[in-house]
Chain A
Amino acid sequence: MATTTTPFDLKKLHRARSARFGDPEPVDPTPEPQFTVEDMNFFYGDFHALHDLNLKLPQMRVTGLIGPSGCGKSTFLRTLNRMYETVPKTRVTGKILLDDTDVSDFSPTLLRRRVGMVFQKPSPFPKSIFDNIAYGLKVNNLCRHKDLKNRVAECLQRAALWDEVKDKLHESAFSLSGGQQQRLCIARALAVEPEVLLLDEPCSALDPIATAKIEDLIFDLRRSCTIIIVTHNMLQAARISDYVGFFLQGKLIEFDAAKKMFQFPSNKLTEDYITGRFG
C-alpha cells in the first residue's frame, strides 16, 4: 500500500462543506450493495468496451465514477438501467444485480422507474415546465389527476427549483437557463421516485454557478436515494462522493471510499491519474 499522499486536502474540502451544510448525520459505515456487478463485459459490435468488471455499488450513498475520456464510465452507467439497448449491436455478458434481481430479468420500463437517469446535455421535452415533471407520473400512472399539481410542486421543491419557476409553470421549459434546465431534468427524474439516480456528467455543459447549485442538490439528495455520478471533474468527485470508482480503458482499476482513494490510493495508476500525471 502506497504511503504517498496526493495533493488533495479532503479535510479542507469537507470542512468547507460542513460550514455550508452542517455536519452530515453519522453514516452507517457498511451499507448494503444496491448494485452487484459480476464479471461484466460489454461489447459495441466487435469492440470490447468493458472488461471483467466486478464491483458492488453501495446503497444510499453517492458513488462517483472517474477516469479519462473514453474509459467506459458512461458506458458502464448505461448498463445499469439498460439504456444501451437503444443502440444496435451492443452486448452484455455477466451479471448485474439490482438488489437481488438480475437487471435483465426486469421489464425495461419497470427497471427504469427504479433506476432513473439524467444526461449530460440538459434536454427537457418541448413542453411546459409542469408537463415535463408530470410526464413520468402520467406515463407510469403513478398519480391521480387531482394530486398531480401537488406532486409536481413537491418535485420542484426537492430539486431546489420551485422558487424560481413557481410563477411560470406553464411556460416552455426552454425559457429556463441551461443550469435550470438541468435541474428540471433532475426533478423530472425524481418525480417517479427512483431508488437510484444515475447522473452522466450532469454539469459538464454548465457554468460554475449552475454546477455549484447542482452539487448542492446532489448533496441534499444523498440520503434519500442511491446516486451514481460519472464525472471528469475530480474535485467534484472529491466534494460530493462517498465512494469512488476509477476506470481506465474499460477496466475498473480501483474502487474505494472517497476519503481513502483520494489520499491514499492503492493503485499506482489511480495515484497517477489523481495527481494529474495523465488524464
Chain B
Amino acid sequence: MSKSYPPTYKKVINIFMLSLTGLAALLVVSVLLFILGYLIWNGARSLNLNFFTKLPVPVGEEGGGMANAIVGSAKLLLLASLIGIPIGLLGGVYLAEFGKGPFSFAVRYTTDLLNGVPSIVIGIFVYTLVVLPQHHFSTFAGGVALGIMMIPIALRSTDEFLRAVPNTLREGGLALGASKAQTVLTVIIPAAMQGIVTGIMLNLARVAGETAPLLFTAFGNQFWSQGWNGPSASLPVVIFNYAISPYEDWHRQAWAAGFVLLTGIFLTNIVARLLVSRGRSRAGH
C-alpha cells in the first residue's frame, strides 16, 4: 500500500478548517483593536481640560465639560462599593468557612440568579424600592442599584479565593488556640487577599460602565448634585444621552467621555490581571 495517509482530501479539509478558525480568532481580536483604536482616535482628540473641569453648557456654546458626570460616577461607585463589597465579602466568608447544607446551596443558587438578572430589571427594582417611596431620583438610589449588582460577583469571587486557601492553614491557626473567626480574619483572608482585591477591581470596572440601572435611579443632572438625595449625572448615562442627540458637539463629547470611561475600565482590568499573574508566579506555597 503506497497510499499516503491521511488521504489528500482530508489534508485539504484540515488546512481549510484550521485556517477558518484562525480567521475567526483574528476577526474577534481585530474587533477589539478596532474599538480601541477608533475610540482613541475619536475620543482623545476631543478631550480637553474643560472636559474634566466644566459643567455642561447649552448647545451651541463652547467650553462645556462633564465634570459633574465624572464626580457623579465616582460618588455612585463609592456608594455601590460600600453596599456591595461588605455584603458580598461577608457572604463569601460564610459560604467558604461556615456554611454547609441546603442553606448554602440556596445562597449560591440565588447569587447566580441575581447575577443573571438584566441590569435594567435591577434598575426597575430599585426604582420601586427607593425612588417611589422617596418621590425623587437620587444618587443614593443609583448607588443602591449598582451595589446590588456588585454583590453576586463579590460573593462568588471571595468564596472561590477563600476556598483555594489550603486547609492546613486553618488547622494551624486552630491548633494554636485561635478561634475560627480569628483564624479566618488573621490568616485565611490575608492569604486570599490578593485574589479578593483583584476581584473587587474587576467588579468595579464592570459596574462603572453600567447605564441601564441608572436611568431611573440616579437619572441625570445638568448641574452638580449635592449630597446623596438629588439626581446625579454619570458618565455612562451622559454618553447615552449625548450619543442619541442630534447635536454634533454632543457627539464629540460623547466620544471623549467614552474614551475616558473605556480607558479607566481597561486599565483597571489590566492591572488586576497583572496582579493575579504576578501573585501566582510568586506563590511559594
Contact = CB atoms under 8 A, between A and B. Distances in A.
Interface of A: 81, 83, 86, 88, 108-110, 112-113, 116-119, 121, 123-127, 135-136, 139-140, 172, 174, 185, 188-189, 191-192
Interface residues of B, number: 21
B172 interface: yes
A229 to B, nearest CB: 15
B176 A123 contact: no
Interface centre among B169, B170, B174, B285 (most CB of A within 10 A): B174
Interface string B266-285: 00000000000000000011
Contacts of A124: 172
Nearest to B178: A139
A109 B170 contact: no
A172 B191 CA distance: 13
Contacts of A189: 175-176
Interface in B153-186: 166, 168-179, 182, 186
A188 B171 contact: no
A192 B177 CA distance: 9
A77 B182 CA distance: 24
Given A109-B178, A117-B171, A123-B171, 18 more contacts: A109-B177, A112-B174, A112-B177, A113-B177, A118-B175, A123-B168, A123-B285, A126-B190, A127-B190, A135-B186, A135-B187, A136-B176, A136-B178, A139-B176, A139-B182, A174-B284, A191-B176, A192-B177
Contacts, number: 74
A116 B285 contact: no
A119 B172 contact: yes
Contacts of A192: 176-177
A13 B148 CA distance: 69
Contacts of B190: 126-127
Contacts of B191: 125-126
A116 B168 CA distance: 15
B10 interface: no
List 7 A-B pairs, minimum CB-CB distance, nearest first. Answer: A174-B284, A113-B177, A123-B168, A136-B176, A117-B175, A139-B178, A112-B177
Given A86-B170, A125-B169, A174-B284, A112 B175 contact: yes
Nearest to A121: B168
Interface of B: 100, 166, 168-179, 182, 186-187, 190-191, 284-285
A108 B171 CA distance: 13
Contacts of B172: 119, 123-125, 185, 188
A123 B166 CA distance: 9
A139 B174 contact: no
Interface of B, helix, strand, loop or mixed by DSSP:
helix
A125 to B, nearest CB: 5
Interface centre among B166, B177, B191 (most CB of A within 10 A): B177
Contact of A86 (B171, B176, B187): B171
A126 B189 CA distance: 11
Contact of A119 (B171, B178, B179): B171
Contacts of A185: 172
A116 B175 contact: yes
A25 B179 CA distance: 39
Nearest to A112: B177
A86 B176 CA distance: 14
B176 A188 contact: yes
A124 B284 CA distance: 11
B284 A83 contact: no
B79 to A, nearest CB: 33
A125 B168 contact: no
Contact of A83 (B100, B175, B178, B186): B175
A139 B179 CA distance: 9
Contacts of B175: 81, 83, 112, 116-119, 189
Contacts of A83: 171, 174-175
Contacts of B186: 135, 139
A36 B171 CA distance: 24
A235 B175 CA distance: 28
A90 to B, nearest CB: 14
A135 B176 contact: yes
Contacts of A110: 177
A88 B285 CA distance: 26
A184 to B, nearest CB: 11
Contacts of A188: 172, 176
A135 to B, nearest CB: 6
A20 B168 CA distance: 35
A183 to B, nearest CB: 15
B123 to A, nearest CB: 41
7 contacts: A117-B175, A123-B166, A123-B172, A135-B178, A140-B177, A189-B175, A191-B176
Contacts of A118: 175
A205 to B, nearest CB: 11
Nearest to A115: B175
A110 B176 CA distance: 9
Given A172-B284, A174-B284, A123 B169 contact: yes
Given A123-B168, A126-B190, A88 B100 contact: yes
Nearest to A191: B176
